Amino acid sequence: MNFGTRVAFDSGKNTGSWIPAKDMGRNYEKYGYNVGCNILGKGPYPLCPSAQGNSEGFCPIAYPNAIWYSLPGSCPSQDIHSKSSQCQRDQPGGYCKGAPTGQGNCTWTYEEAGEVDIDELVGIKQAYGSHSEFCRKGCLEYVKYGWGRDKGKCISWWNSRFDVSKNQWRMDQVDRAFLSKYPEMPSEKDLPVPPCDFNQEVFYKGL
Strands 140-143 and 151-153: antiparallel
State pTM to two decimals. Answer: 0.85
Task: Starting at the earlier edge strand, list the strands of the sheet with 36-39.
Answer: 4-5, 36-39, 67-70
Q: How far apart are CA 97 and CA 77, in angstroms?
A: 22
189 DSSP assignment: G
Q: How far apart are CA 151 and CA 142, in angstroms?
A: 5
Per-residue pLDDT of the chain (207 residues; tens, 9 = 90+): 999 999 999 999 999 999 999 999 899 999 999 999 999 888 887 777 766 666 677 888 899 889 999 999 999 999 999 999 999 999 999 999 999 999 999 999 999 999 999 999 999 999 999 999 999 999 999 999 988 899 999 999 999 999 999 999 999 999 999 999 999 998 888 888 899 999 999 999 989
Q: How far apart are CA 109 and CA 72, in angstroms?
A: 11
Contact 32, 106 (CB under 8 A): no
Summarised one tens digit per residue, pLDDT across range 29-74 is 999 999 999 998 888 877 777 666 666 778 888 998 899 999 999 9
Q: How far apart are CA 71 and CA 67, in angstroms?
A: 13
